[in-house]
Amino acid sequence: MALGEFELIRRFFEQPAKRALLGIGDDCALLAAPARHAALAVTTDMLVCDRHFLADAPPASIGHKALAVNLSDLAAMGAAPVGFTLALALPQVDEAWLAEFSAGLLALASATGCELLGGDTTRGPLTISITAIGEVPPGAALRRDAAQAGDDVWVSGSLGAAALAVREALAGRPLPEAHPARCRMERPQARLSLGLALRSLAHAAIDVSDGLISDLGHVCDRSRLGAHIDWNAVPVDASLAALSEDERKTLALSGGDDYELLFTAKPSRRDAIQALRDRLGLAVTRIGQISDQPGIRITGADARAVVLERGGFDHFA
Amino acid sequence: MALGEFELIRRFFEQPAKRALLGIGDDCALLAAPARHAALAVTTDMLVCDRHFLADAPPASIGHKALAVNLSDLAAMGAAPVGFTLALALPQVDEAWLAEFSAGLLALASATGCELLGGDTTRGPLTISITAIGEVPPGAALRRDAAQAGDDVWVSGSLGAAALAVREALAGRPLPEAHPARCRMERPQARLSLGLALRSLAHAAIDVSDGLISDLGHVCDRSRLGAHIDWNAVPVDASLAALSEDERKTLALSGGDDYELLFTAKPSRRDAIQALRDRLGLAVTRIGQISDQPGIRITGADARAVVLERGGFDHFA
């Protein structure tokens, strides 16, 4: 017999409230106000089957990714995670799928101290919508509009691997499950510790979800500035090593889904930012500079074509 | 040419931030912490096309309802609305649809002081997921588990009209657009003022979304108590007057979607609660009592069959 809605929630999602004053099971969850006049950071991402993940993707990965992309937005704001709500439309109740999905979701929730506060389940085409709440002292938030002319442009980790895995999957030749690029696509890591560390070091930040050029474009637009990027400095993921220069550019500059942090900071912060590499075990690479000339210029072997052709991912383009 | 994702957001949804420190357009919205140590109330509801609304429903009504059902959860908690996020999956960009949808959504947002903080748009089967945030002094929150034996059971407004409209629509004979029951289905009114007024008067509260018996059952389960309801006291909506007694019982006791508030309070509060009717222009009716005997008993002309057969709406039943 199929599980009912309430039993489904109880069995796969209900957990004892930790930081929440009141968790799953009432009209609303209750959350104590943040301490020391921090502001709340709120973000929402919706994942649709066959658009943001493939129907046959491992359910635990889908659960992980649905939360990770929201945590990445908190990281890009310099916010510490507090909790999240989950809205879930399911075509049918598949207990094995739900068990794995919730395990992947709740493992990441637990690892990042981001508590499941409540949610909604309904029947419908497989869709996952998560709203995550974090906290950040308002003056320390890493806003997109806070870049300054002369700032260095930095990016964490490496770029292009997730886009490679997406490309191969869409072309009907999916990478093996254990391939590092496939892991980057299916199990992105939100750069939460980096976001917290950047509160006192960076001006602006954004997570690379649409593609480096597109996301840098958002920072430049909001800050009413431009940028210059040195293609030779861009940390292209090792899994792209065998590809042509054009493919590497396309994937690393315009491919999305890497969920690295792109941020800007005063040149006087270089040493402090480089020191984060050892402290966090995460590469941070200086790839260019913010300028008061509008537009994004890429230098290093002919990258212009890529930039002009592809501005990053737009769900309705 | 179809609108892109960012232009779509700018054109139909972006508004100047009011209470938010930072609104649409960054990785997260920023919201100042609530004053006077209030807690945050957080709720999520997802609406799926052809399940929660019909594809050809007026888009403004869909926008209204998607927010209203979340506001109703805030009302049932005694919380004052602060803001909300919107996740929207759209099969295609239909500008006329979007203009009406956002008008209906934002009109209710404006009328209730619940600001659109941010969101996500993607292509996919038409699905709307809203997370609303409110605030409430934690000790004043109207929790489901707070009913006490001997409490009166009250309900606001009238019951059954929305369920009648749903029944007729599903049977292929939709009520005329201006029919009051159809308005109840398409444009539910969240009982926000009542929820606020009940902070100091009621013990437990819930909104009637699944059906009176089912929702009262949630209160009883959480409070580990039972209830006795007098069918003859239940405020059945006038639009059900011509129906048989059985139909009226089914719709008023087990039909959902009315979004009235069901609440419990000490008998000593009767006069104060009755006085709300004049102050708020909203009927409040005493329909029974909380008891320390488990289960829900209905008295008045043979209502048992209804109760036993139908426990309210379950999306996976």
Q: What is the pLDDT of residue B4?
A: 77
Alpha-carbon distance of A272 to A201, in angstroms, equals: 8
Phi-psi region of A88 (alpha: psi -120 to 50; beta: other; left: phi over 0): beta
Tens of pLDDT along chain B (317 residues) come to 356 777 888 888 988 888 889 988 899 999 988 877 789 999 999 999 988 888 888 999 999 999 999 999 999 999 999 999 999 999 999 999 999 999 999 999 999 999 999 999 999 999 999 999 999 998 999 999 999 999 999 999 999 999 999 999 989 999 998 999 999 999 999 999 999 999 999 999 999 999 999 999 999 999 999 999 999 999 999 999 999 999 999 999 999 899 999 999 999 999 999 999 999 999 999 999 999 999 999 988 654 544 433 345 555 65
Q: What is the pLDDT of residue A302?
A: 59
Nearest CB among A32, A122, A145 relative to B51 is that of: A122
**How many residue pairs from chains A and B have C-beta atoms closer than 8 A?**
246
Domain with CATH 3.90.650.10 in chain A: 144-307
Tell me how many degrees the CA angle B41-B273-B36 measures, rounded to the nearest 5.
Answer: 35
Q: What is the pLDDT of residue A309?
A: 36
Q: What is the pLDDT of residue A316?
A: 60
User: How many Cα atoms are found within 13 Å in the side-chain-facing hemisphere of A224?
Assistant: 0
Closest chain B C-alpha to A49 CA, distance in angstroms: 8
- List the beta bridge partners of residue B29: A42
Closest CA to B5 of B157, B120, B147, B91: B120
A22, B141 Cβ separation under 8 angstroms: yes
Phi-psi region of A25 (alpha: psi -120 to 50; beta: other; left: phi over 0): left
DSSP annotation of B238 reads G
CB neighbour class for A124 (10 Å; exposed up to 12, middle 13-18, buried from 19):
buried
Largest CA distance in chain A: 64
Question: Residues A79-102: pLDDT tens digits?
Answer: 999 999 999 999 999 999 999 999
Encoding tokens for residue A125?
């085409």
Encoding tokens for residue A180?
């590092």
DSSP annotation of B137 reads -
Give the confidence band of A25 by pLDDT, cuts at 50, 70, 90. Answer: confident
User: How many Cα atoms are found within 13 Å in the side-chain-facing hemisphere of B27?
Assistant: 38
ipTM: 0.90
Class of domain B144-307: alpha beta
Residues from chain B contacting residue A51 (CB–CB below 8 Å): 122-124
Alpha-carbon distance of A251 to A226, in angstroms, equals: 22
Residues from chain B contacting residue A26 (CB–CB below 8 Å): 77, 143-145, 222
- Annotate B163-221 with DSSP letters as a single string: HHHHHHHHTT-PPPTT-HHHHHHHS----HHHHHHHTTT-S-EEE-SS-HHHHHHHHHH
B29, B117 Cβ separation under 8 angstroms: yes
- Reported as type and span, the H/E element at residue B226 is strand B226-230
Question: Residues A145-179: pLDDT tens digits?
Answer: 999 999 999 999 999 999 999 999 989 999 998 99
Residues from chain A contacting residue B93 (CB–CB below 8 Å): 316
Cα dihedral sign for A103, A108, A111, A115?
A: negative
Domain with CATH 3.30.1330.10 in chain A: 5-136
The angle that helices A59-77 and A95-112 make with each other, rounded to 10 degrees, is: 30
- List the beta bridge partners of residue A128: A47, A88
Cα dihedral sign for B15, B16, B22, B26?
A: positive
Count other Cβ atoms within 10 Å, centred on residue A3. 18
- List the beta bridge partners of residue B118: B85
Nearest CB among B4, B88, B316 relative to A314 is that of: B4
Residues from chain A contacting residue B217 (CB–CB below 8 Å): none
Distance from CA of residue B54 to its chain's centroid? 18
Encoding tokens for residue B113?
């002081």
Alpha-carbon distance of A66 to A53, in angstroms, equals: 10
Question: Residues A295-305: pLDDT tens digits?
Answer: 999 988 654 54
Q: What is the pLDDT of residue A310?
A: 38
- Annotate A96-124 with DSSP letters as a single string: HHHHHHHHHHHHHHHHHT-EEEEEEEEES
- Reported as type and span, the H/E element at residue B96 is helix B95-112
Contact flag A33-B28 (C-beta cutoff 8 Å): no
Alpha-carbon distance of A58 to A60, in angstroms, equals: 5
Q: Assess whether pLDDT exceeds 80 at residue A317.
A: no
A69: closest chain B residue by CA: B27
Alpha-carbon distance of B129 to B121, in angstroms, equals: 10
B37: closest chain A residue by CA: A33
Contact flag B120-A138 (C-beta cutoff 8 Å): no
Nearest CB among A34, A127, A144 relative to B127 is that of: A127
Give the confidence band of A33 by pLDDT, cuts at 50, 70, 90. Answer: confident
Q: Assess whether pLDDT exceeds 70 at residue A214.
A: yes
What are the residues whose beta carbons fall under 8 Å from the beta carbon of B238, sequence distance 6 or more? B158, B180
Contact flag B28-A74 (C-beta cutoff 8 Å): yes
Contact flag A73-B27 (C-beta cutoff 8 Å): yes
Contact flag B27-A77 (C-beta cutoff 8 Å): yes
Question: Residues A128-152: pLDDT tens digits?
Answer: 999 999 999 989 999 999 999 999 9
Tell me how many degrees the CA angle B49-B52-B54 measures, rounded to the nearest 5.
Answer: 55
Site from A21, A74, A123, A131 to mutate, B interface, most B CB atoms within 10 angstroms:
A131
Cα dihedral sign for B105, B110, B112, B118?
A: positive
Cα dihedral sign for B216, B218, B221, B222?
A: negative
Residues from chain B contacting residue A136 (CB–CB below 8 Å): 30
A122, A6 Cβ separation under 8 angstroms: no
Closest chain B C-alpha to A302 CA, distance in angstroms: 28
Name the CATH code of domain B5-136 (choices 3.40.50.300, 3.30.160.270, 3.40.50.150, 3.30.1330.10).
3.30.1330.10
Count other Cβ atoms within 10 Å, centred on residue B2. 12
Q: What is the pLDDT of residue B1?
A: 39
Contact flag B42-A27 (C-beta cutoff 8 Å): no
Closest CA to B120 of A253, A136, A117, A72: A72
Nearest CB among A42, A123, A124 relative to B28 is that of: A42
Contact flag B122-A315 (C-beta cutoff 8 Å): yes
Contact flag A119-B21 (C-beta cutoff 8 Å): no
Residues from chain A contacting residue B42 (CB–CB below 8 Å): 28-31, 83, 85, 117-118, 131, 133
Alpha-carbon distance of A99 to A315, in angstroms, equals: 30
A147-164 burial, b for 16+ CB within 10 Å, e for fewer?
beeebbbbbbbbbbbbbb
* E-only strand ranges, A23-165: 29-31, 39-48, 80-90, 115-123, 127-136, 152-156
Contact flag B44-A118 (C-beta cutoff 8 Å): yes
Model pTM greater than 0.90? yes
Question: Residues A48-65: pLDDT tens digits?
Answer: 998 888 888 899 999 999
Question: Residues B160-187: pLDDT tens digits?
Answer: 999 999 999 989 999 998 999 999 999 9
The angle that helices B59-77 and B95-112 make with each other, rounded to 10 degrees, is: 30
A255, A311 Cβ separation under 8 angstroms: no
Q: Give the strand pairing for B152-156 and B261-265.
A: antiparallel
Closest CA to A103 of A12, A8, A3, A11: A12
Q: Assess whether pLDDT exceeds 90 at residue A285.
A: yes
What are the residues whose beta carbons fall under 8 Å from the beta carbon of B108, sequence distance 6 or more? B63, B64, B67, B68, B71, B114
Closest chain B C-alpha to A284 CA, distance in angstroms: 20
Closest chain B C-alpha to A211 CA, distance in angstroms: 14
